Structure 1
Amino acid sequence: MFLVNSHSDYRQALDPRDAEILGLDAANAVERHLSFRENHAETPLVTLPALAAEIGVASIHIKDEGHRLGLGSFKALGGAYAVIRLVLDEASHRLGRTIDISELHSSTVREIAGTMTVACATDGNHGRSVAQGAQLVGARAAIFVHSGVSDERVAAIARFGAEMIRVDGTYDDSVRQAARIAEERGWTIVSDTSWPGYERIPGLVMQGYTALVREALRAMPQPPTHVFIQAGVGGIAAAVAGHMAIAFGDQRPTFIVVDPARAACLFETARAGHLVTVAHGAPTVMAMLECYEPSLVAWRILSRVADAFMTVDEDDAIAVMKRLADPTGNDPAIVAGESGGVGLAGLLGAIGDPAIRQALSLDGHSRIFLVNTEGATDPGKYEEIVGLSPSAVATQHTTGASR
């Protein structure tokens, strides 16, 4: 399914709150923060010239977030950043002066962090980031996971010392239970989705994602003309689209949001023109995108700066995982988890449909930007789908990457 943005807010200026969260000064602050992270390194921007030639576009660049901060997902940029910002804010409040990131590991700040508990609901990747952030600063973490989260993903979070709490039902059920229990116990919710009255912390999470956009734009020889990016609640899509809208103004690229057909909450919200919750049906293989209610802040941004919305099917996501693992020509192999290549699935779907291709002005001059949002965060599941282990695919990753 495909639709162009017809919302009354389309092409209006960003809400001032969102412009501040995703603006250039905020992005600079995120990159400064990352400079204090011991295992920080910019992730690769991978070019796929053979695939670009095959589908008839000028270039394809993929930001490979499977390498981010040892967590295998772009989410590493968001949850941990928000936790650290909250600890610094609390320390500043208690000590009566501004506490800089350079003081994060001081005994005084760690003592304050030790009195704090952060909590969140997760499909896997966001919870891992929150748990890592809590461990870094010496805070406690309680992570709520729904019944569809694999044992391997739960174990990957628990290794950071987090308390794991299983919730019957869907991701959205776990969001609600996390919020209720956190309020009862005085914990701080660090969610990557937002709702009325709860916007600042999800805004910090999204702010963390601007780092990958800054890195990619520095590495690209020319700005992109089109961006296809996958969405769960919409945080990554809104962060990329919002920051690019600020950076490029009227010259910003055409931006397409890609949903799983089985959890198309942003697509259906765009169709309705207001926030909607979609019904929970059969689970999607795109586990990190299995969300049924969009983030309030993300929709506020995307209603203004997304140009189109589309969905992809289960087979499309699986085919892209395999295509990236066994690429065209001399293109490098990329390890993309079940949700990682969904933006590329959207691009291929658009190219294959003459009406969509024309609507988006996709042609031989188009420069495409995509994000591989996750590597093999569940290696067993990855090998079951692709037929090769992540390490076997990674050994092919020898050409085409740039920093």
Structure 2
Amino acid sequence: MFLANSHADFGHSLLPADADMLSLAAAARVEQQLARRPDHRPTPLHALPALADELGIAGVFVKDEGQRLGLGSFKALGGSYAVIRLVVEEAERRLGRSIDLDDLDRPEVRAIAAAQTFGCATDGNHGRSVAMGARLVGAKAVIFVHGGVSETRIEAIAAYGAEIVRVAGTYDDSVREAARVCDENGWTVVSDTTWPGYEYIPGLVMQGYTALLSEALRQMEEPPTHVFVQAGVGGIAAATAGHLALRYGAERPRFVVVDPARAACLYESARAGHPVKVAHGEPTIMAMLECYEPSLVAWRILSRVADAFMTVDEEDAVSVMNRLARPTGSDPAIVSGESGGVGLAGLLSVARDPALRETLGLTAQSRVFVINTEGATDPERYAALVGLSPETVANTSNERG
């Protein structure tokens, strides 16, 4: 399903608070924080010329977040960044002076961090990021997981020292339970979705994602003409679309939001003209995107700057995992988890449809940017779906490189 954006706000400027959150200056601050982390390395941007030729376009470029900060997901940039920022802000308030990353190991700052507990709901990746950030600063983390989160992903979160709380129901149920328990205990919720009265911290999470865009644009010889990004609650899609709109203005690339058909909260919001909660049905294999209610801030941004909303099916997600693992020509092999290649799946669907190509202006001159948002965060499931282990695919990529 494909829907051009017809919202009354489409084409309008971002609200000042959203523009400040996703500005070039804010993105520079994120990169400054990352540069001071010993585990930070820019992730690769892969060109796929054989795939581009097949699709009849000038280029396909994949930012590979499967190699981000040892977590295997772009979400390493969001939750951990927000936790560190919040500890710094609390230390500045308590100590009455400016604090930077070098001060995080000082006893007085560690004592402040140790008294803080950060909680969140997760499908897997965001919880790992929050837990990692808490461990880096010496704070506590309590992570709420719903029944659809695999044991492998839960173990990966617990490995960072987080307390795990299991919640019956869906991701949205775990979001509500995390908010309730954190409120009762005086803990800080670090969510990647927003609700009325709760926007600042999810804004920090989204701000963290802008680092991958700064890197990618430096790695590209020319800016993209089109961008396809997958969405759960909408954080990475809104961060990408909003930042690119601010950076390029009227020359911004055309932007398409890609939802799983079984959890299409942004597509349905676009169809309704306002944020909606979609019914929970059969779970989607795209587990990191299994969200049934959009972030209000993400919707506010995307209603203004997304050109279109679309959905892809289960088989599309699995097909693109396999295509990236077994490339043609000189294209590199890429390890992409169940949710990682959904933006690319959206591009493949559009490229096969002449009418949609015309609607989006997808031509032989088009340069398309997508984000591989995760690697094999559940290696056993990856191997079952692809028929190869992540290590085998990664080794193939190294050999081809």
Counterpart Cα distance in 2 of 1:253 and 1:57? 15
Counterpart Cα distance in 1 of 2:328 and 2:277? 39
Alignment RMSD: 0.8
Alignment of 1:97-116 (within 5 A): 97-116=97-116
State yes or no: 1:217 paired with 2:227.
no
Other-structure match for 1:208: 208
State yes or no: 1:79 paired with 2:79.
yes
Alignment of 1:1-400 (within 5 A): 1-398=1-398
Per-residue deviation, 1:254: 0.2
More off after superposition, 237-246 vs 104-113: 104-113
In structure 2, relative to structure 1, the CA distance for the partners of 1:399 and 1:272 (3 Å cut) is: farther
Per-residue deviation, 1:339: 0.2
Counterpart Cα distance in 2 of 1:269 and 1:177? 24
For structure 2, list consecutive stretches of 5 or more residues without a partner in the other structure.
none
Contact 1:48 1:400 (8 Å CA) reproduced: no
Residue aligned with 2:157, SS: helix
Q: Which amino acid aligns with 2:163?
A: E
Counterpart Cα distance in 1 of 2:38 and 2:130? 17
Counterpart Cα distance in 2 of 1:399 and 1:385? 23
Deviations 1:131-157 (A, max 9, x none): 000000000000000000000000000
Residue aligned with 2:228, SS: strand
Counterpart Cα distance in 2 of 1:113 and 1:333? 41
Per-residue deviation, 1:355: 1.3
Per-residue deviation, 1:36: 1.4
Q: Which amino acid aligns with 1:336?
A: S
Q: Which amino acid aligns with 1:187?
A: W
Residue aligned with 1:338, SS: coil
In structure 2, relative to structure 1, the CA distance for the partners of 1:398 and 1:86 (3 Å cut) is: same
Deviations 1:312-346 (A, max 9, x none): 00000000000000012121000000000000100
Counterpart Cα distance in 2 of 1:147 and 1:57? 41
Residue aligned with 2:392, SS: helix
Residue aligned with 1:229, SS: strand
Counterpart Cα distance in 1 of 2:374 and 2:119? 22
Structure 1 runs, 4 residues or longer, greater than 6 Å off:
none
Per-residue deviation, 1:223: 0.3
Counterpart Cα distance in 1 of 2:399 and 2:271? 41
Deviations 1:199-254 (A, max 9, x none): 00000000000000000000101000000000000000000111101110100000
Counterpart Cα distance in 1 of 2:98 and 2:294? 34
Per-residue deviation, 1:399: 7.4
Per-residue deviation, 1:400: 8.1
Q: Which amino acid aligns with 1:179?
A: A
Counterpart Cα distance in 2 of 1:305 and 1:131? 32
Q: Sequence identity, in percent?
A: 68
Counterpart Cα distance in 2 of 1:216 and 1:40? 15
Contact 1:46 1:400 (8 Å CA) reproduced: no
Aligned residue-pair number? 401
Residue aligned with 1:395, SS: helix
Counterpart Cα distance in 2 of 1:270 and 1:100? 41
TM-score computed with the length of structure 2 as normaliser: 0.99
TM-score computed with the length of structure 1 as normaliser: 0.99
Q: Which amino acid aligns with 2:136?
A: L
For structure 1, list consecutive stretches of 5 or more residues without a partner in the other structure.
none
Counterpart Cα distance in 2 of 1:56 and 1:107? 59
Q: Which amino acid aligns with 1:37?
A: R
Q: Which amino acid aligns with 1:247?
A: R
Counterpart Cα distance in 1 of 2:399 and 2:87? 41
Counterpart Cα distance in 1 of 2:330 and 2:97? 55
